[in-house]
Amino acid sequence: MNPPAASTSALLSAFETHYTELIRYIARRTGNLEEARGLAHDTWLRIAERQGGAQDATPADPRAYLFTVSHNLAMNHLRRDQWMAGYLAECGQADAASPAQAPDVADTAMYRQALAVVEQALAGLAPRARDAYLACGLHGEKQADTAARLGVSLNTVERDIGQATRCIEDALHAWRHTPPAHARPKAAGRRRSLAALLGVFAVGATGTALWQHLQREARRFQTALSTLRGQRLQRSLPDGSELTLDAASRIEVDYDAAQRRVRLLDGAAFFAVRRDADRPFIVQARGVQVTVLGTRFGVEIDGGQGVLVQVESGRVRVDAWGRTQELGAGQGLRAHGGRTQLSDVARPAAWRQGEIAFDAVPLADALARVERYAPTPLRAAPGVAGLRISGKLRVADAGDWLASLPRVLPVRLKTLPDGGVEVAAR
């Protein structure tokens, strides 16, 4: 049963009062204190996102409502973990059941026939389309470089590659006597169609570069994720890794058979990476690249547009502006303006537990960080943007932190016509 509607302000006040008790309550159900802090933060977000305001009726028992919400979130979290554990167990059983030896004679004959069909389909393409497909797909040439070499636009190269891929699909469908992709429902996209075509073949040591490319395409996984202000997202990835996306953040995920690549475009993300020695996990953010095999770490684009890497366990390699550094558990690195700075981190990616820490950062950067959880825009006037501020706050106290700024800095708060708040000089 869903709890009845309640006053947002009353519930947030109850959250402040019972925060420690709430952590213990969730921890008893999950068996993990770190997960309990994260779920408590999710509880606060769920309440803060309510449409109602302080004028709504006050609940008879705000504490009971608060604990009901946290209980539901904890149960959903446990169900998701159980599902993932079952999924990974099934994957492990399937891998164990797969034969490790080379394909038998029948499989090898089928493989060679399929490869001949693909080569014939490529031979029937227009020379430019075939050149573009082989250059980008087999030899790893960037599409922009291919376009410049052929003297055509990037859109033309993308169109030629798409045409080549469709021709290969149609040829394999004809060989297998199955309906072509355009004859099936639209939900079965190119990646699923190609995966279905190639999934029936055993690939042995006689495989060619072309076949390896098609196999990589069949295992490809791509997605783009984003969050709104005050919202946080947790997602399980196909390899068993876990992704936690902070508020007001954007990320792109691109997996293939050779590597797992993620691009952080805005905000912050935390990764619990499942080890795979054959496929490194790579995170890119504003010219900084983080490479791991299996570990837990966070990457953040801060308010000053620097990149912050913090490691909770394991080791990562950070490549920034031609320099490579390795980080271990409890270490952090900030890369900005061509420079890198190492530091010790007591609680990596503390935003997962609803906390934000500042260490002599410009006021404009601090406001940009807090703004991810604020209901309205926060800005710093040019005259005070460079003032340095330090401290730690809970996301739940962001409003109180903003109201306290005039007591610690020579500033005043000004409400703007668009509903935002500007911090200006007194």
Query: Residues 370-425: pLDDT tens digits?
Result: 999 888 889 999 999 999 999 888 888 888 899 999 999 999 999 988 888 999 99
| Residue-wise pLDDT tens digits, 340-380 | 999 999 889 999 988 898 888 999 999 999 999 888 889 99
d(CA 303, CA 372): 10
Mean pLDDT, rounded, for 154-180:
80
Where residue 87 falls among pLDDT bands split at 50, 70, 90?
low
Flag whether pLDDT at 215 surpasses 50. Answer: yes
Q: Which two tokens stand for residue 53?
A: 């305001």
Least confident of 84-93, 114-123, 179-188, 270-279: 179-188
Quote the pLDDT of residue 100. Answer: 45
Where residue 138 falls among pLDDT bands split at 50, 70, 90?
low
Rounded to the nearest integer, the mean pLDDT of the chain is 80
Flag whether pLDDT at 6 surpasses 60. Answer: no
Query: Under a CB-based contact definition with an 8 Å cutoff, are residues 317 and 326 in contact?
Result: yes
Q: Which two tokens stand for residue 262?
A: 């993620």
What the chain holds in terms of domains, given with CATH numbers, is 8-93 (no CATH), 105-218 (1.10.10.10), 232-350 (2.60.120.1440), 354-425 (3.55.50.30)
Three state DSSP letters for 88-113? HHHHHHHHHHCCCCCCCHHHHHHHHH
Going from the C-alpha of 367 to that of each of 44, 51, 355, 390, 406, the distances in angstroms are 20, 24, 14, 12, 14
Flag whether pLDDT at 172 surpasses 90. Answer: no
